[in-house]
Structure formats: C-alpha cells, structure tokens
Chain A
Amino acid sequence: MATASARPANPIVEKATEILQSLIAPVVCSSAVLLVWQLLCSSADSKMPGPIKVITQTIGTITGGFAENGIWMQLLNSLTRVGMGYVGAAVLGIAIGVAIGVNKFLRDGFDPLIQILRTVPPLAWLPLSTILFLQTPKPAENAGIFLIFITAIWPIIINTCVGVQQIPKDYTNVAKVLRLSGKDFFFSILIPSTVPYIFTGLRIGVGLAWLAIVAAEMLSTGAGGIGAYIWNEYTSMLDDSISKIILAVFSVGLVGLVLDRFVGWLGSLVVAE
C-alpha cells in the first residue's frame, strides 16, 4: 500500500499512454510510405501527384463534399444502395440457409447450384441485372441493388447452413430431453447456436458487396455513387482529377473497413462468449 500511495497511478493517464504506444508503429510505417510516395512523385514532370499535392488539391472537395454530387453524397449514395441490397441478402440468405441446413433434401438439391453461383464474379451479373430491371422506374439504381444482393447472399446462405448443421449434439440432446417443440427449438437452440456462423457469413457478405458496388457504378450509366464519381473524374481528367480519384479510392477503403468492423462488432454484441 505504501508504494501504491507513493506513486499514484492515474488510470486515464495509463490508458492514454497505452493507446499512444500502440499508435507508434502504424504512424511510423504510414509516414514511411507517404515519404516514399512523395519522393517518387517529387520530380517536376511526374503525372502522379504526391501526398502533399493530393491534400492541397482536394481540400475543397473534402469540405464541399456534402453539396449535391459532392464526394460524400456520392459515397452515401453508394452506401444506401449497398444497405438495401445487403439487408435483402441477409434476410433471404439466413432464411434459405436455415431451410437447407435443416432439410437434407433441400440441402442436397440446392448445393450444386449454390456452389456454382457463389463463384460467379459480381460484375458478371451486371448485364443480366441491367436487362432484368430495364422496365423499372430507376433501372440503373435497381440493377445495382440487385447486384449487391446476388453477390452478398451466397456466403450468408452457406455459412448459415453450415451453422445449422453444426449445432452441437449437446444442445440438441438438451432439446430432446426437454422435449422442446419445433418453435421452441428454433428460437431457443437453433438460432442462438447458429448466430456466430451467420455473422461470419454477414461479414464476408458485406465485404463482397462493397467490392462489387464500386465496379458496378463505374460501368453502369446514370446511377451515380462513388464508383461513378471516380469514373467521371477519370473521363474528365482535369488538373485535380487524379488527386480526387486518390481521395475517393482512399475513402472507399476506409468505408469498407468501417463496414467490416461494424458487422463484426454487431456480431460480438449478439454472440455469447
């Protein structure tokens, strides 16, 4: 006690030092990358802007990003689209996953189809989905949403299905001894024990969806979104276009990371242990 009172340890200070220490390595390494980048692009005839130039050229874009067709609005536009397709994929994917996980006939029947479709690259769906939604009010918009849906659903189905099959025998034995009804079994045992698998699927799904949206928006016309934003900058090729593209690409990466972490965090809330 004597030593403890002699050197009072402030928990906040301790925590702060801990965070600062953990930041040292990323900061050093990122700075090194920026430095190399700056050096490589410092010659006068370099087409590629260095990091300093990127920042100076895009200050306006960053601050004015919330104006109509600004970069942040376009990002939000893409996010909304992903959100709609992804929620659809999650709901339907979990339902289908549970159904084929429980029923051997369905599982055996649909497995080959799922195995084939899940390997189709997202962009291969684009022409089909565009044609499919040609007659709807917002064809490009809907085609994008469908693309997200069809991309994200497979890992969700597969993981949910595996989760249902992997329900430990211990839990089903408990259900048998207690003679749980079908409904009780579904909500008390099946869903809770499958949740970790579902979230694995959801996390893979969201990553794929975000990968797909940028490419889709680049290719389809009139849809807007961050992909279209990058494409527009590329085609117009103004003085600051490259810097804007770099900013957009960086933002896409950042959002992808946030999405992944968000779903992971949601999962940790729901899954015990």
Chain B
Amino acid sequence: MTILVDVDHIDKIYPLKTGGEYVALRNVDLKINQGEFVSLIGHSGCGKSTLLNIIAGFEQASIGGVVLSGKQITSPGPDRMMVFQNYSLLPWLTVRQNIALAVDKVMTDLPAAERKDIIEKHIDLVGLRAAADKRPGALSGGMKQRTAIARALAIRPKVLLLDEPFGALDALTRGNLQEQLMQICEEYKTTCVMVTHDVDEALLLSDRVVMLTNGPEAHIGRILNVDFPRPRKRMEVVNDPTYYPNRGEIINFLNQQKRDKRRKARKVSEEKTSIPAVTAVKTVEKSVVTLGYVPTTDAAPLVVAKEKGFFAKHGLTQVELIPDSSWQTIADGLANQRLDCAQLLAGMPLAMSIGADRKRPTPIVTAMVLARNGNAITLSKKLYDDGVRNLKDLKKAIAATPDQPHSFGLVDSVSMGSLLTRYWLASGGIDPDRDLSLSIMSSAEMKNQISKGFIDGYLASEPWNSAAVKDETGFVVATDLEIWDGHQNKVLGVREDWAQENPKTHVALVKALIEACEYCDDRRNREEIIKMLAKPEYLNLPAEQLRPGFIDPFQRSLDQAPEMLVRFNQYYVEQSTCPRRAEALWILTQMARWNITPFPKNWTEVLERVYCRDTYGQAARELGLPDSVDDHESVKLFDGLVFNPDDPMSYLASLKISHEIRVEEIVFEEAPAPRSLRSKSLAA
C-alpha cells in the first residue's frame, strides 16, 4: 500500500492574547494509505477538526507539515475536497448548478460535454435526479448533504475530507447516507478522512479509527484497526463478534479522556487560585533537590550532572545525590517524601502508581529515561560445565533434572531486567514461576550466592556479571542487547504532586540530565566518568571493575574472546532519553503477564499520566532537541514476536506462558494538593 497523506509530526500552536500560547496539537503523526478510510474521533476541543483543516490546507501546522503524494500542503485545493459539517452549498444555485460550479471550475481541461456528463452522473449517484433543479432552501438536510457529497466526489479528489458529515441528520437519513457513502467510496477507492464523534459511525465506515487525546497538546492516543470484511452492511458489521469489543475499546478510551479532562479542569481552577505564588517565578521553585539512586554504572548521568555542573547550569545549585542499596528503600523514600526524585527501575513508576504488591498506590511520573541496556544474564559455572551455552541448553538441563530445585536471582520484580529475564526464559519454554524459583536480592548478594552454588543464574547490571566471569563462578549466557536492544532500564521518577508543585524544577532537572546523558554517551568522556563513578561517595569500587562493557570489551566467559559492545550502556543516542509510551505499555503487559499488577483497562490514561511527555517535550525543546517519538511503532523482540502498541490485548492473548491476565480499570487516587495550596485554603 502506498502512503497518500503523510501528516508528519505536526504541532498546532495558537498565540494567546494574554501573551502565552495554546498548544492545540502536539506531535501528531499519521500516515494514510491510498484508498483507506480513516476516522478521527475524540472529545470536543481535542483538535480533530483542526487536524482536518490542516490536511485541507485551511490552517497551517506551526511545526511539521502535511504531505500529499509528495507535495507539501500549503493551501486548500480541489485534490482535498471537503464535505463541510453545514453542507456549504451556495443557496442561490440549484443542486445541478452547485455541482456544476465545482466541476466547471476545477476540471477546466475537459470538454463541456464531458463535464456535463460528470455532473449528471453524480446527480444520479446520490439519487437527486428529481431535485436537480431545486435550490438548497427547498431540500431536506439529507438531500443537502448528498448534494455536498456529490459535489465533492464529482471533482475526483485524491482525498475526501468529511467534517462530521452526518451530525445534523436524523438517525434514519444518517444510516442511509452512511451506507451510500460507503458504497461510493468502495466503488471508487476513495481515500477518506472523517471527523466524527459517533463511535458506531466510525466503526462502520473506517479501516482505522484514530483516537485523539484531549487538548491542550492533543495527540494520537490510540489507533484501532477495524477489520470487518468489505463490502460492509450495517447489520453484518453489528453482528460481527469483534464489533462490541472494538466499540468497547473506543468508548473506554473516550471515557478515560473525559475523566482526564475533568482532572485537568480541576487542576486549572486550583492553579488560578495560586497564580502569583507558582507561575510568576522565572527561576526554579526549588534549588535544593534530593535525588535517590542505587550505585551502578547506570547512575553515571546523575554523577556526571553533579560533577560536571549540569545541575548548577540549570539553576539547581544544591542537588544531593543519596545512594541506597535497595530499590525498595528508594521507592519508600520517594513515597514518604524523604526524596524529591529518584533514579528508578523502568517498571517502578508504573508499578508504584498502580500499587503493585498490595502496596498503597503512589502516583509517580517519569519524564525521562536515564539509561538503556546495561544488563546481562549470568549462569553458574556448573551449568557451563554441563554444556549449557544458550537458552535451549538451559531448558534441556532444567528438564533433565526435575527433582532438583533451580533458582534465579533478580534485583526487583519490576525491573526491566527482571521482566526481560522472565520473557527470555518463557520464550525458551521455561515457565519462570513453575520451573524455577525466583528470589529478590541485591546484585552483590547474587554474585556471592552463585559462587556458593545456591542459585543457578541471575540478571544484573555491571559490574556483577563480569565479576562472576572473572572469578570463574559463572558465565554470561545473554546480554540484554540480544533480547531487546535499546530497552529502557533506568528512569527518572518523581511524585506526581511534586511535579505539579515544582514544574520548573522538574524541567530543569530533566534538562540537566539530558545534557549529562549526552556527555555519558561520548566515549571520549568515559575514562573520566569511570574515575568519577569509582569515588567513595558514589560507587566506591575499584575503577577496573567498572570498565567491562562501559569502556572495555565485554567478556562472556573465560573461553571466549572479549567482545566490544558499543551500545551496552546507552544513555543518549537515538533519543534514548525520551520516555517512550510503547515501551511502557510493553512493561504493563509483562507485569500483568506475571501477575505483578492487573492490566489497566484504561492503559492509555495510565501511560499518559505516568509517562510525562509534556515535561520531557518542554525540556527537549528548550535544549533544541526533538521533543517526541512515535508511540505507535511496533516493537520486535529477539524471538520474532511483534508487540503492536495499539493492540496490547491481542498481544497478551498471544503469549503462551502466562498467568491469567486480570484486566481492571485503574483509577488513580488524586495526588494530595500541593502544600502551598493547602496552607492557602486553610487561611481562607
């Protein structure tokens, strides 16, 4: 299929009279294929009509643009004929004259007789022969709309744009017209983009339903593929077994957005009461920030930001880095406000927000990824001596000794490493919860236990894999580069209420850390970084231990030659720092798969809220970097399974080894009001 319309990462920004700006659309990216019928759906004010108008050329995108078969759209034109919401017929012309005006003015190179044929043909096409000589004033709403459709189709547009075309019609007329439109579109293979608020209409007509989130900064929240066979008949479509599930998905999305709208409205009204206190400050709200972390090489950006003065550069003069040995302590510190922000394992913001392990949920937002990759799976020397070299051998070895307990060490149940290890094991036919016993322990403890033969393997970041190799107590069976190259590993997390209270500090923090990440990815700086990391106040380890993978080639076992893994520690390249929602959604599916959390029925809402792209976007823009990525791109892992972020439910259903999936609506409790507001309301 060829792409006909390419809506290329557009922003639509309106300047406000008060001096600010209103971002109506943010980073909308949509490719529409030749002959495809796409519906745009969302609540009023979500910018769906704005998007249509930009495609039509009535409005221009502020950033990005729309390309129609290779040419950028800068003004309206007959190749993108619009069927307007209120028909837009000229009242002084008859039906025939209205169609003729379009045909005569657009198809000027055709002889008059041919044009006349086209006009008459399209009058018949929409069944208006009897009313051809009537003026719009004498027509019913349905007839007017048919005239408008005939006028639009008659000039053979490349794309037919429909702006709530049937909104003003009664149900019966609407049904008839929908079927008529569908027939015509199928017959002529017309590419259509329709704005609608009618879920059934969208499902009946579309190949894809594009769901937009609420403004400001509206973007594509989800895309639903509608696969009912064509030609479609209303009754057949409604009786399709997937009709109601699909319908439920859209309604569910719209409900989430409604809730989100209410929440935003409440936030705005709260902000209004405290404008001078919060928004008038030009500089950061807090210059003293406590930042918790667990000392590994993934902490490099934090250490660099402090040591190289990136924090200070962005006004954060006193950032206190607080090391902690366990992720649990970090999570508790964040929840009980001991820490302002923290380096977290990739799954933690979601798990904490949803409330994994029957913990009280703490809404956490993450605005950037601090490190990608950097993990490896180490197996014991004993397995190596038994000839285990890969996943297949491991499965065989485990199957051969069913009477023996096999155990694995993990740092946390929701670390990306843990989820990847489980995924890796499961794809090899090993059920991580039945065939193995998994235990949570610190990385140092893992190395200790494997040497004693208490565990058969573990997943850890460096230096804990190389150390086992060097001590000849284990070998690396896989690095995470081989499982999912470029996955997020550590992220920055803050409490949602903290983020709301200190928006500028948050942005400054992200900016400083993005710059630090850039510094970390430059290999010329790595020697210097190793020295910083090795310092007693940070990792307190000999620099030698930190080198493998980070600078030096990575050695999997003593028998193998060390191998250079350039991306083993990835901080910045390929927009590493952007908190990708597709990855987050994958994490949600895996947490549900292993029964760590239920899968949120309202996952779009959860992702929108936890993966705080507004803050990232603002920081990136202020640094002159791209502010967004494609959240709908599919991910393919090492086993060839494709994860489509627009359809997590069928992905979950396709996973062989899995717990029963619980799907629940996750309603976050409201973050407590910021302290400044609370004192104010008390005073009042």
Contacts and interface: CB of A to CB of B under 8 A. Distances in A.
Contact of B84 (A170, A178, A192, A271): A170
Interface string B67-83: 00000000111101110
Contacts of B22: none
B78 A170 contact: no
A33 interface: no
B90 to A, nearest CB: 6
10 contacts: A170-B88, A171-B88, A173-B58, A174-B88, A178-B78, A178-B101, A179-B78, A188-B101, A193-B92, A272-B135
B50 interface: no
A175 B57 CA distance: 13
A184 B105 CA distance: 8
A273 B84 contact: no
B102 interface: yes
A174 B90 contact: yes
A174 to B, nearest CB: 5
Contacts of B162: none
Contact of A177 (B82, B90, B93, B135): B82
A162 B90 CA distance: 19
Nearest to A185: B105
Nearest to B80: A177
A231 to B, nearest CB: 46
Chief secondary structure at chain A's binding surface: helix
Interface in A162-205: 170-171, 173-174, 176-180, 184, 188-189, 192-193, 195
Nearest to B152: A177
Interface residues of A, number: 18
B137 A273 contact: yes
Interface in B91-110: 91-93, 101-102, 105-106
Contacts, number: 57
Chief secondary structure at chain B's binding surface: loop
A177 B101 contact: no
Given A170-B84, A174-B88, A178-B106, 16 more contacts: A171-B88, A171-B90, A173-B84, A177-B78, A177-B80, A178-B155, A179-B78, A180-B105, A188-B90, A192-B93, A193-B92, A195-B92, A271-B92, A272-B91, A272-B137, A273-B135
A18 to B, nearest CB: 24
A193 B89 CA distance: 12
B326 interface: no
A32 B128 CA distance: 56
A174 B86 CA distance: 12
B105 A272 contact: no
B218 interface: no
B145 to A, nearest CB: 13
B91 A176 contact: no
Interface in A80-98: none
Interface string B464-508: 000000000000000000000000000000000000000000000
Interface residues of B, number: 25
Interface string B34-73: 0000000000000000000000111000000000000000
A177 B86 contact: no
A232 B151 CA distance: 65
A272 B56 CA distance: 29
What 7 pairs across the A-B complex have the smallest Cβ distances?
A273-B137, A170-B88, A272-B92, A176-B76, A192-B92, A177-B76, A272-B91
Contacts of A173: 58, 76, 82, 84, 88
Contacts of B90: 171, 174, 188-189, 192-193
Interface string B383-419: 0000000000000000000000000000000000000
B148 to A, nearest CB: 10
Most buried by A among B56, B57, B80, B90: B90
A133 B56 CA distance: 57
B440 to A, nearest CB: 63
A273 B94 CA distance: 11
Interface in B124-159: 135, 137, 155
A192 B90 CA distance: 9
B92 A179 contact: no
A184 B137 CA distance: 23
Given A188-B101, A273-B135, A273-B137, A177 B91 contact: no
Contacts of A184: 105
B158 to A, nearest CB: 13
A22 B393 CA distance: 105
A211 to B, nearest CB: 32
Contacts of A271: 92
Nearest to B53: A173
A265 B299 CA distance: 86
A229 to B, nearest CB: 43
Contacts of A180: 105
A177 B93 CA distance: 18
A138 B135 CA distance: 49
Given A170-B88, A272-B137, A177 B105 contact: no
